[in-house]
């Protein structure tokens, strides 16, 4: 379901009314007329499809939906406010206060900022947003003038983003993520939970705990969408930190890869050496590392935990690494290369459990208990999951206990 991000100025009005419990007092505080505030609240309630306030003779009080929305809006505004504070602290225009700036910034400007930052091109950004290129250009440049900083610079390939643009773009994406979470929570209160959980998944998790968790979770939440994103770990981590992904599920990194994320171990399976059924090494009573070095291998890319374990397998006993390597993380390609040759791979047996059970592949008798690697969750440190997302996490933990 496509989520429309409400107008930032309407959100500011909402927070003021929630704080002062009065349109009159909010009007005096944010210098906006009472009819304008009333209209802003009405539009916001219309967008959300829920009443945010109960009107009483002694003031306006938040409904259950209003309390949920206040929490999410406050977190969203804080993301943007911290970013603008960081951006303007070194400018020479001293009258630019972050608190004043956020009252002037529009959602349209922030959406343009994100689109241009991601595409590095005004034309592509305009197509993504479905508006004219001149509109995107004007919104981006107005934001530059408002902040008193340069956000985009021309280069030979088009444009590049400055540090200020990167800072505000990341904060905006995190803010928009908070608002989407709030909309999901309000929908759930009205018994129409059609939220989306976005997961960045690594190969082992995709073949084991993730499919079982999705099936069990959807029995209770049939209308919740699960969006599974695949990719290199470094790309998934980037999208997690930007708010595009809720959870990364896969091999954990040590030390923790960034200060703003936290990891949780779910399961720690060992690696196995796998080849085709009736591989020549299955006939040996005892396999040594020198035997393994005689064969071609399929291995994951460098810097991954499994690749490091593969290299350590030979380096620890001073045996030269095999040279006939194919690098790939594609489950399909690995399987086909193993089936059609004497190549070997280092992998968790759980990833090829089905092929082993139907006797297409086999695990070689070579001890690798020391290669146990932690598989688990990686989430943003500041992430506040919805009730639905928390339930999905509990299902993941329960399924992981079975594998342990």
Digit-coded pLDDT (tens) for 23-42 = 999 999 888 899 999 999 99
- Classify residue 220: in a domain, yes or no: yes
Indicate the pLDDT class of residue 303, thresholds 50, 70 and 90: confident
Residue 188 lies in a domain: no
Residue 186 belongs to some domain of the structure: no
148 and 52, same domain (yes or no): yes
**Chain mean pLDDT for the chain:** 92
Question: For 84-88, 213-217, 337-341, which range has the lowest pLDDT when averaged over its residues?
Answer: 84-88
Mean pLDDT of the 359-367 span: 94
Q: Which residues pair with residue 160 across a beta bridge?
A: 153
Handedness of CA 363, 364, 370, 371 (dihedral sign): negative
Per-residue pLDDT reduced to its tens digit, 92-106 = 555 555 566 788 899
C-beta atoms surrounding 207 within 10 Å: 18
Is there a single domain that holds both residue 203 and residue 65?
A: no
- Whether 127 shows a pLDDT value over 60: the answer reads yes
Q: Are residues 295 and 383 in the same domain?
A: no
**Residue 297's CATH number:** 3.40.190.10
The DSSP bridge pattern shows strands 375-380 and 261-267 to be antiparallel
Query: How many domains in the chain?
Result: 3
Claim to verify: residue 48 and residue 156 sit in the same structural domain: yes
- Judgement on whether residues 68 and 163 belong to the same structural domain of the protein: yes
Identify the band that residue 91 occupies on the pLDDT scale cut at 50, 70 and 90: low
| Confidence at residue 192, expressed as pLDDT on a 0 to 100 scale | 84
* CATH number of the domain within which 45 lies: 1.10.10.10
The Cα 166–Cα 118 span in angstroms is 10
Domain range enclosing 256: 193-268+375-403
Same domain? 309 vs 335: yes
Please list, in sequence order, all residues whose beta carbon lies within 8 angstroms of the beta carbon of residue 106, skipping any fewer than 6 positions away: 7, 8, 9, 139
Question: Where are the alpha helices (H) located in 190-321, listed in sequence order?
Answer: 203-207, 209-220, 233-242, 289-292, 305-315
């Amino acid at each position: 379901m496509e989520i429309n991000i409400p107008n930032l100025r309407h959100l500011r009005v909402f927070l003021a009314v929630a704080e002062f419990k009065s349109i009159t007092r909010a009007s005096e505080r944010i210098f906006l007329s009472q009819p304008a505030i009333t209209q802003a609240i009405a539009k916001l309630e219309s967008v959300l499809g829920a009443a945010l306030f109960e009107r009483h003779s002694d003031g306006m009080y938040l409904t259950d939906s209003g309390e949920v929305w206040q929490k999410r809006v406050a977190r969203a505004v804080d993301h943007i406010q911290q970013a603008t504070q960081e951006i303007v602290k070194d400018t020479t225009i001293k009258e630019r206060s972050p608190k004043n700036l956020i009252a002037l910034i529009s959602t349209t400007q922030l959406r343009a900022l994100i689109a241009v930052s991601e595409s590095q091109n005004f034309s592509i950004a305009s197509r993504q947003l479905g508006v004219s290129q001149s509109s995107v250009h004007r919104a981006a440049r107005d934001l530059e003038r408002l902040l008193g900083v340069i956000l985009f610079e021309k280069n030979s390939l088009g444009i590049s983003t400055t540090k200020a643009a990167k800072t505000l773009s990341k904060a905006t994406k995190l803010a928009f993520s908070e608002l989407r979470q709030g909309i999901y929570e309000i929908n759930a209160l009205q018994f129409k939970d059609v939220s989306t959980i976005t997961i960045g998944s690594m190969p082992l998790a995709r073949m084991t705990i993730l499919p079982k968790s999705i099936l069990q979770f959807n029995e209770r939440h049939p209308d919740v969408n699960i969006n599974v994103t695949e990719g290199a770990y470094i790309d998934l981590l980037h999208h997690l930190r930007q708010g595009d992904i809720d959870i990364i599920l896969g091999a954990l990194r040590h030390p923790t890869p960034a200060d703003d994320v936290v990891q949780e171990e779910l399961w720690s399976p060992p690696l196995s050496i796998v080849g085709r059924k009736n591989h020549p090494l299955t006939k040996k009573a005892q396999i040594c590392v020198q035997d393994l070095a005689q064969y071609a291998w399929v291995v994951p890319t460098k810097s991954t935990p499994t690749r490091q374990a593969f290299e350590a397998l030979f380096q620890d006993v001073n045996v030269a690494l095999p040279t006939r390597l194919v690098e790939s993380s594609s489950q399909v390609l690995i399987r086909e290369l193993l089936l059609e040759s004497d190549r070997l791979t280092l992998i968790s047996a759980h990833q090829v459990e089905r092929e082993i059970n139907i006797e297409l592949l086999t695990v070689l008798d070579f001890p690798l208990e020391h290669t146990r690697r932690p598989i688990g969750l990686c989430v943003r440190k500041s992430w506040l999951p919805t009730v639905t997302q928390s339930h999905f996490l509990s299902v993941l933990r329960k399924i992981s206990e079975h594998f342990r």
